[in-house]
Amino acid sequence: MTVTSPKGFTASGVAAGIKTSGAKDVALVVNDGPQYTAAGVFTRNRVQAAPVVWSRQVLKEQTVRAVILNSGGANACTGPDGFADTHRTAEHVAEGLSIGAGHVAVCSTGLIGERLPLDALLSGVDKGMVERSVDGGADAAEAIMTTDSVPKTVEVSGDGYLIGGMGKGAGMLAPGLATMLCVFTTDAMLEPATADAALREACRLTFDRLDSDGAMSTNDTVLLLASGASGVIPGTEEFTRQLTAACSDIATKLLSDAEGATKEVAITVIGAASEDDAVEVGRSIARNNLVKCALFGEDPNWGRILAAVGTTAAAFEADRLDVAINDVWICRGGAAAADRSGVDLSGRDIAITVDLHAGGDTATIWTNDLSHAYVHENSAYSS
């Protein structure tokens, strides 16, 4: 279950020596056709890594023949030289496949601000080109890992076609996009407009609602490649639903593997005047360090949740707010209700529900707690 599950794709993952550990660090995914339809969604951070600038340009033509990915370095904030490195990498892949470099997307992940070791990377491309196969998806998923503890892959079956995917990301999960590189493949036959609309909608409902630590990456990239090899043309709505399921699965795996987290928290806002209000309130709670510390401490501190709600511009009256933690309504009408000792926070999964009593819209934001291990992982090592 990965990017090589659908027909029409080959992939590989190799160790090129970019990571000092000797682990796999270069992944190649090739669309062998007969179609090469593609769509991409990128970080909304205005400081963008060279591969994001490059790939955004490539995706304008909605045709991608191959994606080259590396871990061990983000190639972000590296100036014109860093962009030249990305360009050179794409050209090297293009030469190997006898295609145009303008059809090769590039993704990088790792430390910001340092140049990539280009010779190592290019030799990795050569090696990856030799090793690529219809069974190479698992190796590719492994090669894009950074602080991930496990590779993250998915497979979803549509009506006569498959969607496969791989993702990486464990820190910097963020608004706009969870931090990550993510490649989805499908053997469905897709119009470029369908691919684009489906990917945007799927990301909006999944990765965009994952907010582990509020920090937005310079490198986030989600790509969808369609080979058409199944010969099946799915309905737009049905395909969007399946792709959303695939994205949701990877998003859940990113959340589970977030750096140093001990809790996975679903914040559902109901009774909102609009979906935007629900998202704003959920995100405000998800980003509140005092709430996140309380969850780490297994303290059902609904006062901190209310204080977070109070910082938003959403429609609500403070004396009508209800809050449940793990289905115990410990706050009703903006004041204490059920006994907080009835809330069991010992498990890994926590559900917070906030009822704004202002309308009929709802949204769920996923986040993690703020733990000692989070501080340790993000202070002891550069990333």
* Chain residues in the site for its own copies (CB under 8 A): 44-48, 74, 76-79, 81-82, 111-114, 171-172, 213-218, 287-290, 293-294, 296-297, 299, 301-304, 306-312, 316, 318-319, 321, 331, 333-336, 370-372, 374-376, 378-382
Residue 115 beta carbon to its own copies: minimum distance, rounded to whole angstroms: 8
Q: Which two tokens stand for residue 47?
A: 């400081």
Token pair 């910097």: residue: 172
Catalytic residue among 10, 147, 179, 244: 179
Q: Using the minimum distance from each CB to its own copies, give the nearer residue, 99 or 273.
A: 273
Q: Which two tokens stand for residue 103?
A: 């059809």
Q: Are 366 and 349 in contact (CB under 8 A)?
A: no
CB burial of 110-136 (b: ≥16 within 10 Å; e: otherwise) equals bebebebbbebbbbbbebbbeebeeeb
Active site residue 218: no
Q: How far apart are CA 57 and CA 187, in angstroms?
A: 24
Q: Using the minimum distance from each CB to its own copies, give the nearer residue, 160 or 297.
A: 297
Q: Using the minimum distance from each CB to its own copies, give the nearer residue, 111 or 138.
A: 111
Nearest to 259 by CA among 136, 373, 106: 373
Residue 176 DSSP class: S
Q: How far apart are CA 368 and CA 213, in angstroms?
A: 8
Residue 303 beta carbon to its own copies: minimum distance, rounded to whole angstroms: 3
Q: Are 206 and 282 in contact (CB under 8 A)?
A: no
CA angle, 181 then 186 then 190, to 5°: 110
CB burial of 49-66 (b: ≥16 within 10 Å; e: otherwise) equals bbbbebbbebbeebbbbb
Residue 250 beta carbon to its own copies: minimum distance, rounded to whole angstroms: 22
Question: What percent of the residues of the chain are helix, what percent strand, and what percent coil, each to the nearest 5?
Answer: 35, 25, 40
Residue 325 beta carbon to its own copies: minimum distance, rounded to whole angstroms: 13
Q: Using the minimum distance from each CB to its own copies, give the nearer residue, 52 or 154.
A: 52
- CB-based contacts of 84-91 (< 8 A; 24+ apart in sequence): 85/50, 85/115, 85/116, 85/118, 85/121, 86/50, 86/51, 86/53, 86/54, 87/54, 88/118, 88/122, 89/118, 89/121, 89/122, 89/125, 90/54, 90/58
Q: Are 187 and 288 in contact (CB under 8 A)?
A: no
Q: Using the minimum distance from each CB to its own copies, give the nearer residue, 100 or 359.
A: 359
Q: Using the minimum distance from each CB to its own copies, give the nearer residue, 82 or 136.
A: 82
Q: Using the minimum distance from each CB to its own copies, give the nearer residue, 130 or 335.
A: 335
**56 sits in which H/E element:** helix 50-59
Residue 47 beta carbon to its own copies: minimum distance, rounded to whole angstroms: 3
Residue 211 beta carbon to its own copies: minimum distance, rounded to whole angstroms: 11
Q: Using the minimum distance from each CB to its own copies, give the nearer residue, 233 or 307.
A: 307
Q: Are 250 and 156 in contact (CB under 8 A)?
A: no
Residue 113 beta carbon to its own copies: minimum distance, rounded to whole angstroms: 4
Residue 19 beta carbon to its own copies: minimum distance, rounded to whole angstroms: 18
Asked, as a colleague might, if the bond just before 192 is cis with ω within 30 of 0, I would say no
Residues identified as active-site = 179
